[in-house]
Amino acid sequence: MQKILVLDFGGQYNQLIARRVRDNKVYAEILPYTTPIDEIKKNGYSGIIFTGGPNSVFDMSSPHYSRSILDLGIPVLGICYGCQLIAWMQGGTVSTAPVSEYGMVKLNVISSSPLFKNIPEASTVWMSHTDYISKAPDGFDIIANTENCPCAAVQDSNKNIYAVQFHPEVTHSEYGSQLLHNFLYEICGCTGDWQMDSFIDDTVAQLKKQIGGKKVVLGLSGGVDSSVAAGLLSRAVGNQLTCVFVDHGLMRKDEGDFVEKTFTSLFDMNFVRVNCQGHFLSKLKGVTDPEEKRRIVGTEFYNVFWEQIKKENATGFFAQGTIYPDRIESGKGEGTGQSVIKTHHNKVAMPDEVKFDGIIEPLKDLFKDEVRAVGEKLGIPKELVWRQPFPGPGLSVRILGEITAEKIRLVQDADAVLRDEMDKCGYAENLSQFFAVLPDAKSVGVMGDHRTYEDIIILRAVTTDNFMTADWARIPYDILARVSNRITNEVRGINRVVYDITSKPPATVEYE
Ligand code: XMP
């Protein structure tokens, strides 16, 4: 398989670059700029992309790389900081631009280049820089400029080294995708061998070989990743696979039954459902502190899961639904000294007394959208493949204050109405996440001639690219009206529905 290396210098779009390469059916992996050159040589890359970064190349504490990477004979494309770094490494001049550029800018292609094949002479690109190349290195031609950036794209076509100051990976760059396609196909000679059908065939063959006649255990949460991992493993080894599904009773309405039905009817495997709503309710009784609730759900989930694994006398391999972004630093480059480690929520710590022959992570190289594509090809229902993000602690963070069985019913029923209405009118596809929340508050209402004093439901719906920030969704009033009517009519115990109009920040998406 052909591979592209995305060498991470700490920019915010690094994962996006790798995804865009994969959108072009070429496998890409991200490595930090601290990776030794020998490892890079060994991996046999067809091309290397230097990412952007928040730094300035003259600052020697910024990420740099050995010049010899440009002599490996592997085509290189530098983007933004990566572009300046190439110029600096090759003896060009990088300086602070008199006018920094930010946003959409007109690019003029001024000489021919395979990088700009099928791209018009004038187009719009996305810029975000304060430094720029003021003098291209010897041996480099300037291939494009903008009003304020004389060397917006440069090339040394003999050595197959290309550098662009703008960001082709963001959709605001009109022909960015074509430019990446050109780099991959015209310059690196890629043929597009990264396709989900072949991924499934190759992975299934590899899993069969690795697992042989042994058994595999997988913790199934009903989320996208573990469901797709289960589908792949089932296809590879059928009933040598046991999926353990801990139903803590804090999932959405009927979700536990749906997960069970899906996996028992569509896939060959042993499915073990551990029904432990009562256990969780008793552990959560009287607890109101949000962090304490989260801690209890997390700890008990772990305890119940491993107890069950021990009961099953599980041997062989332990499988997890780890996906690619779980393995790399989110956003910031690994090793840039500014990274915030993402919680590896798909990785489950293993108690000492449990022994397996090894860990299997069949999705470890895939991005989320690729996991979904694999799930669809495996025939996993759309409801699971396109499931919205759902927090590990489940509804416990959407029921404020103490959790009781009755409160779980209220929030589940209200949430089911909201989902039903959103699906019916098709508005769900405009939203990143939407759900119902039960605050620890009652209010006075009137029904017929009677005064009521009942619970309130809060509706929460957001749009976001990455969940670090989020905007509250402008759902049309008539849809909200239908949802409100139905909840107050159909969910016994609710007499008021309110809509949350707060963005993140200052609020968070969830309530606890
Ligand atoms: P917040 O509330 O932090 O949520 O703005 C951002 C996104 O993360 C999800 N979320 C969680 N996911 N375990 C998870 O797997 C958790 O503990 C958790 N808490 C929040 C939340 O649903 C939203 O999509």
Whole-number Å distance, alpha carbon 247 to ligand 1 midpoint, is 19
Q: Which two tokens stand for residue 191?
A: 């043929």
Whole-number Å distance, alpha carbon 394 to ligand 1 midpoint, is 10
| C-alpha to C-alpha distance for 377 and 14, rounded to whole angstroms | 27
Interacting residues of 190 by C-beta distance below 8 A, sequence separation 6+:
2, 4, 24, 26, 46, 47, 184
Give the pLDDT confidence score for residue 297 in this predicted structure.
94
Among 129, 167, 181, 248, the active-site one is: 167
Give the pLDDT confidence score for residue 11 in this predicted structure.
86
Pocket test for ligand 1, best of 467, 471, 511 (most atoms within 8 A of CB): 467
Nearest atom in ligand 1 to 467's CA: 6
Instruction: Yes or no: say if 414 and 498 are a contact pair by the CB < 8 Å rule.
Output: no
Give the pLDDT confidence score for residue 314 in this predicted structure.
85
Smallest CA separation from ligand 1 atom 16, residue: 391
Ranges of the chain whose pLDDT falls below 70: 329-348
Nearest atom in ligand 1 to 432's CA: 24
Active-site annotation holds for 149: no
Task: Name the E strands within 210-266.
Answer: 216-220, 241-247
Whole-number Å distance, alpha carbon 510 to ligand 1 midpoint, is 6
Nearest atom in ligand 1 to 392's CA: 13
User: Global pTM?
Assistant: 0.84
Nearest atom in ligand 1 to 223's CA: 15
Cβ–ligand 1 contact at 58 (below 6 Å)? no
Whole-number Å distance, alpha carbon 471 to ligand 1 midpoint, is 15
| C-alpha to C-alpha distance for 76 and 51, rounded to whole angstroms | 11
Whole-number Å distance, alpha carbon 357 to ligand 1 midpoint, is 32
Active-site annotation holds for 276: no
Nearest atom in ligand 1 to 510's CA: 2
The bridge status of strand 47-50 relative to strand 149-156 is: unpaired
Exposed, middle or buried: residue 197 (CB in 10 Å: 0-12, 13-18, 19+)? exposed
Question: Helix 277-284 crosses helix 290-311 at what angle (to 10 degrees)?
Answer: 140
**Cis? peptide before 506, omega within 30° of 0:** yes
Nearest atom in ligand 1 to 388's CA: 24
| C-alpha to C-alpha distance for 246 and 205, rounded to whole angstroms | 29
| C-alpha to C-alpha distance for 285 and 278, rounded to whole angstroms | 10
Whole-number Å distance, alpha carbon 509 to ligand 1 midpoint, is 7
Active-site annotation holds for 167: yes
Give the pLDDT confidence score for residue 348 in this predicted structure.
61
Cβ–ligand 1 contact at 439 (below 6 Å)? no
Instruction: Yes or no: say if 163 and 48 are a contact pair by the CB < 8 Å rule.
Output: no
Whole-number Å distance, alpha carbon 456 to ligand 1 midpoint, is 22
Interacting residues of 70 by C-beta distance below 8 A, sequence separation 6+:
76, 86, 89, 90, 159, 161
Cβ–ligand 1 contact at 509 (below 6 Å)? yes
Among 83, 129, 151, 169, the active-site one is: 169
Cβ–ligand 1 contact at 290 (below 6 Å)? no
Smallest CA separation from ligand 1 atom 11, residue: 391
Interacting residues of 159 by C-beta distance below 8 A, sequence separation 6+:
70, 139
Among 80, 149, 188, 276, the active-site one is: 80
Smallest CA separation from ligand 1 atom 3, residue: 508
CA atoms within 13 A on the CB side of 369: 8
